[in-house]
Amino acid sequence: MGIIIGAMALFVVLSVFSGLKDFSLSFSNDFDPDLKISSVLGKSFFVSPSQDKQINEIDGIASYSKILEERVLFTFNGKQEVTCMKGVDPNFNTVNNLNKKLFNGEWLKKNTSQVVVGYGIAEKFSMGLLDFNNPLEVLAPRPGKGTIENPEEAFNKMVLNPVGIYAISEDLDSKYVFADLGLAQELLEYKSNQISGIEVKIKKGGDENAITHSLQTIFNTKINIKNRAQLNESLYKMLNTENLAVYLIFTLVIVIALFNLIGALIMMILDKKENLKTLLNLGIEIKDLRKIFLLQGTLLSFFGGFIGLVLGITIVLIQQHYELVMITPTLAYPVIFSIENVLIVFGTILSLGFIASLIASSRVSKKLLGS
C-alpha cells in the first residue's frame, strides 16, 4: 500500500507540474518566436535583398519577420512611461500569435501611425482607444554628435494612434508598444533595411540546428541566434528546478515507504528461518536463498508501482477530461499525461525497490541460520 500510494502521488504531482510548466510557458510561447536573430555588433544590422532571398530559400522556415526594438519615452495626458517600442512588419503575425491575444480593438495596419499597446501600459495611462482629445506621443533621442542648443531638437517626436490593446501576462503587458516597422525606423532615423532583429517560425519537423547554421552562413556569423528556451532561460531554469525539487521530495517519501518493505522482508526472513535452515541443509547456497527475497521484494515493488501508476493515470485523465479541480471558476488545474512521467515513476519505483530488497535479502546469512 505504501508503494502504491507513493507511486500514485509521485505521478500525479509530476503531471501537475508538467501542466503548470506548459501553462506558464504558454504565455511566452504566444509571444516568442522559434528563433530570434540579433546583432553581435551593436543594436542594429542591415539586411540586403540578396540575404532576404537566401533566407526565403532555407528549407524548414515557415515565415520570418523583421523587427526593430528600442526603449523610448511615451507620454499621454500628462503621464510619462519609458518602455520598448517594437516596430514589426506585416509578417509578424505569421510568426507569433499576438493578434489572438488582443484584449480590445484590432491589430495595426501597415504604413500608419497606429500602435497596439499592452494592457499594463493602458492601465498606467488610464488610456482608451481612439482618444483624439488626448494623443499618445512618443519621443526618441536623435542620433548624432555635438552640443545640444535646443532641447526640443534633441528628440524626434511623433503622435500615435492606439487601435488595440493586448493582454498576455503582467510582465509582457507593460513591456512593449507595437508599431509599424517603417514608423519605428523613421522615429529612430534608421534606413529602410536597418533592423534590430529577425524573428523566425520553423515548420513542423524542421531541423533547428540546420536552419541556425544556414542563417549564420548568410550573415557571416555576425549575428546571435537564440531559440525559445534561450530567450526565456531564467524561466526554463526556474521551472526545471521546481520540477526536480518536487521529484526529489516525493522520491524521499517513496524511500521512507520502502523502509516498510525492508522491514517486512526482514520479518519474513525471521519467520521462515527454520524453512531456510532446512533448504540450506539440503544444499541450497546462501546466495540462492537471498535471491528468493530479492525477487519477492522486486515483485512487490513492480506490482505496487504498476497499480499506483494505473490509479495515478486514472486521476490525471479524469482531471484532463472533466476538470474536477479548479484554480478559478473558469480555469481548471492544468495536468498533462506524459509517457516520460510514467517511465520516470516506474523506473524510480523499480530501482529503489530493487535496492531495498537487496538490503533486506542481505540479512540472510549462515550466521542467522545458525550454521
Phi, psi for 333 (deg, rounded to 5): -65, 120
For 178-201, how does the pLDDT look when each residue is reduced to its tens digit (9 = 90+)?
999 999 999 999 999 999 999 999
For 350-367, how does the pLDDT look when each residue is reduced to its tens digit (9 = 90+)?
999 999 999 999 989 888
Query: How is residue 67 written as a grid cell?
Result: 523587427
Other C-beta atoms within 10 Å of 44: how many? 18
Whether residue 84 contacts residue 69, with contact meaning beta carbons closer than 8 Å, is answered with yes
Label the pairing between strands 136-141 and 61-76: antiparallel
**Chain length of the chain:** 371
Average pLDDT over residues 190-218: 93
For residue 12, pLDDT over 80 is answered with: yes
Label the pairing between strands 35-39 and 223-227: antiparallel
| Runs of H (alpha helix) within the chain | 2-29, 49-56, 92-95, 119-125, 181-188, 208-218, 228-231, 233-271, 273-281, 286-322, 339-361
- CA 167/CA 161 separation, integer angstroms: 18
Whether residue 353 contacts residue 298, with contact meaning beta carbons closer than 8 Å, is answered with yes
Average pLDDT over residues 165-185: 92
DSSP-derived letter for residue 311 is H
For residue 279, pLDDT over 70 is answered with: yes
Tell me what pLDDT residue 41 has: 83
Whether residue 12 contacts residue 341, with contact meaning beta carbons closer than 8 Å, is answered with no
For 53-107, how does the pLDDT look when each residue is reduced to its tens digit (9 = 90+)?
999 999 999 999 999 999 999 999 999 999 999 999 999 999 987 878 898 999 9
| Runs of H (alpha helix) within 57-179 | 92-95, 119-125
Tell me what pLDDT residue 24 has: 81
Whether residue 325 contacts residue 332, with contact meaning beta carbons closer than 8 Å, is answered with yes
Whether residue 101 contacts residue 30, with contact meaning beta carbons closer than 8 Å, is answered with yes
- CA 145/CA 247 separation, integer angstroms: 57
For 104-135, how does the pLDDT look when each residue is reduced to its tens digit (9 = 90+)?
999 999 999 999 999 999 999 999 887 878 89
On the 0-12 / 13-18 / 19+ scale of CB atoms within 10 A, 143 is: exposed
Pick from 36, 68, 38: nearest CA to 229 = 36
For 255-267, how does the pLDDT look when each residue is reduced to its tens digit (9 = 90+)?
988 888 899 899 9
Question: What pLDDT band is residue 149 in, cutting at 50, 70 and 90?
Answer: low
Label the pairing between strands 102-105 and 155-166: antiparallel
For 292-320, how does the pLDDT look when each residue is reduced to its tens digit (9 = 90+)?
999 999 999 999 999 999 999 999 999 99
Query: How is residue 239 written as a grid cell?
Result: 521551472
For 20-32, how does the pLDDT look when each residue is reduced to its tens digit (9 = 90+)?
888 888 777 778 8
- CA 103/CA 85 separation, integer angstroms: 19
Q: Measure the CA dihedral 126/131/132/134, to 10°.
A: 0
For 232-252, how does the pLDDT look when each residue is reduced to its tens digit (9 = 90+)?
888 889 988 988 999 999 899
DSSP-derived letter for residue 43 is S
Question: What pLDDT band is residue 142 in, cutting at 50, 70 and 90?
Answer: confident
- CA 202/CA 169 separation, integer angstroms: 24
Query: How is residue 318 written as a grid cell?
Result: 479524469
Measured CA angle at 85 (ends 185, 162), to 5 deg: 100
Tell me the whole-structure pTM to 2 decimals.
Answer: 0.79
Tell me what pLDDT residue 203 has: 93
